[in-house]
Amino acid sequence: MHSEPIRVLVTGAAGQIAYSLLFSIAKGDVFGKDQPIVLLLLDITPMLPVLEGVVMELQDCALPLLREIVPTDKEEVAFKDLDAAILVGSMPRKEGMERKDLLKANVAIFKSQGAALDEYAKKTVKVLVVGNPANTNCLIAAKSAPSIPKENFSCLTRLDHNRARSQVAMRCGVPATHVKNVIIWGNHSSTQYPDVHHCLVNMSGSELACFDAVKDDAWLKGEFIATVQQRGAAVIKARKLSSAMSAAKAICDHMRDIWTGTPEGEFISMGVYSTGNPYGVTEDLIYSFPVQIKDKSWKIVGGLNINDFSRTKMDTTASELIEERDTAVSFLAA
């Protein structure tokens, strides 16, 4: 048993993604089966009564690793001495809201939370941003926490990664675990580029390149990409609510990989700081790359061949991120 508990924050803790996420964290599925946890739960003041209900349920799960639960609406309480921060809470887009207004509201939130990380959290804290627009919110948080290394910040594109993996697996009639090394490039938005040029599929014991396994280039270069890009919208259309179960699972995958590393010969996708990347992507963005993780540090997978088809799509999503960043940074200065 690790004697020392780690301190883990989830924001938007009364929301529906958190409701699907907290049990997995508290049960030990993310940080390890023998790692005690102090859970800090932040939400806005009007949500505190709801949050109290979530706390009761966590207590009623009677979990061995959950040492303490701290529900709060105060950043100085929530961000104190953190080992991990999962920033789920953000301003959701309301009907008729301009994207710019959405950005402005979120810049305020993530500037404040970045400053709180800077002031109260451990300098080794690992920060995962989930709240949308996730890449740009992550960049604003990182810029607002100058004393914490930029490498400690990432945003969630694992849900897109898992969606891509699953689409290929269903098409090939194999379990999703038989598909590895799909890549999500760029923004967690409909401009993201799900790339299977380096993906391998285990078909009856031998690993095939994805294009050889699927044997339908038109699907892989067309409908497959569109399906993954639009999947979030498709779920909302069907459920009238955004993806919570699958988002929570992706958060668990992402944080577990940071904590315990990626398997040998495999890489996963996450939004990380682009400065110094080997693919000529514009610097000073949070952009999704293929990464491998060891000793809690990620490294962008280098040396992958990028064809013209891929390059065009990688550039399109980078352009959107540059525009988002520039708009957000202008609000930051205000």
- At 159, give phi and psi (nearest 5°): -65, -45
232: closest CA among 269, 289, 189?
189
Helix (H) or strand (E) holding 209: strand 206-209
How many whole angstroms separate alpha carbon 259 and alpha carbon 32?
Answer: 8
How many whole angstroms separate alpha carbon 286 and alpha carbon 273?
Answer: 5
**Which amino acids are annotated catalytic?**
188
How many CB atoms are closer than 10 A to CB 156? 29
How many CB atoms are closer than 10 A to CB 332? 17
Residue 58: both structure tokens together: 């966590």
- Residue environment code for 64-74, b if the CB has 16+ CB neighbours within 10 A, otherwise e: ebbeebebbee
Residue 63: both structure tokens together: 């979990």
Residue 43 is assigned to a ligand binding site? yes
Task: Report the DSSP pairing between strands 179-180 and 200-203.
Answer: antiparallel
Q: Rg of the chain's alpha carbons, rounded to an integer?
A: 19
- Residue environment code for 292-316, b if the CB has 16+ CB neighbours within 10 A, otherwise e: bbeeeebebbeebeeeeebeebbee
Residue 93 is assigned to a ligand binding site? yes
Residue 274: both structure tokens together: 């682009």
How many whole angstroms separate alpha carbon 325 and alpha carbon 327?
Answer: 5
Residue 325 is assigned to a ligand binding site? no
Annotated binding site for NAD(+): 43, 106, 130-132
Bind-site residues: 43, 93, 99, 106, 130-132, 163
Known binding residues for substrate are 93, 99, 132, 163
